Amino acid sequence: MDVLQSHLELIARHPVGVVFVSSLIEAAGIPFPSRIVLILTPAFLATDRDLVRLIAAGVVGAALGDHVPYLAGRLAGTRILALYCRLTLASERCVEKTLSYFVRFGSAALLAGRFSTSVRLFASACAGCSRHITYPRFLILDTIGTIVYTTLWVLVGHFIGERAVVFFTTDRRRGVFFAFVVMAAVALIGYRLWRQRRYGRARSSDVARIDRVRP
């Protein structure tokens, strides 16, 4: 567990910077446990003012990161959606379901999308592809959703962060927890591969309906 301890020491030394970078990385579309970072980091803060700074860093980092799929959608169009589908091992049916969600809720999906990694990536990319969602509207809705999301998890960390750090560093049951996480990840990948084999891989034609999206 020396690796985990070194990561916790890094968070303790640079809490605001770690939250900013982790939020930026995950929002850009790279798998990263930024939610866990938001929960653990408050345990290393000294004052409530630091809590506000932490939320601000998370919001700015995530909002900047969301510009990666947004700009990719703006520049590459629906091709970027097909790329995201393949990278996430999404099946044809999964893509259709996600797009139906965006078509139904329009730009409001940007508000709720923060709480689902797959929906958030597609929502930001769809916003970039769509001719009906302006950049100012994307920025406002994305920022509001990001503030709610970041504040929620930082407050959760404020109340349970110290206990979580103790659990990860000293509790003997942590090995069982990590094993469960690994098995859950393997099961998820297996499930997505099964759906992909049963329903077919995502195709570029599956995302053509983005032009029908309304604000």
Q: Among 90, 101, 16, which Cα is nearest to 52's?
A: 16
pLDDT reported for residue 23: 92
pLDDT band at residue 99 using 50, 70 and 90 as cut-offs: low
The overall average pLDDT reported for the chain is: 76
Band the pLDDT of 211: cuts 50, 70, 90. very low
User: How much is the pTM?
Assistant: 0.78
Query: Per-residue pLDDT for 153 more than 70?
Result: yes
Determine the pLDDT at residue 19: 93
Which residues lie closer than 8 Å to 202 by C-beta, 6 or more apart? Answer: 82, 85, 86, 90, 91, 92, 94, 95
The residue-averaged pLDDT of 112-136 equals 76
CA distances from 37 to 2, 40, 64 (A): 17, 5, 18
Q: What is the DSSP letter of 206?
A: G
Tokens 């000293």: give the residue.
Answer: 170
Judged by DSSP in three states, 14 sits in coil
pLDDT in tens, 21-60: 999 998 888 878 888 889 989 888 878 788 999 999 999 9
pLDDT at 213: 47
Beta carbons of 38 and 74 less than 8 angstroms apart: no
Name the nearest CA neighbour of 122 among 94, 144, 152, 148: 94
Q: Which of 34-38, 65-69, 79-83 has the lowest mean pLDDT?
A: 79-83
Of 110 and 28, more confident: 28
Q: What is the pLDDT of residue 181?
A: 61
Q: Cβ(112)–Cβ(145) under 8 Å? A: yes
Burial environment of residue 15 by CB neighbours within 10 A (0 to 12, 13 to 18, 19 or more): buried
* Per-residue tokens: 56: 């601000």
Question: Phi-psi bin for 106: left (phi > 0), alpha (psi -120 to 50), beta?
Answer: left
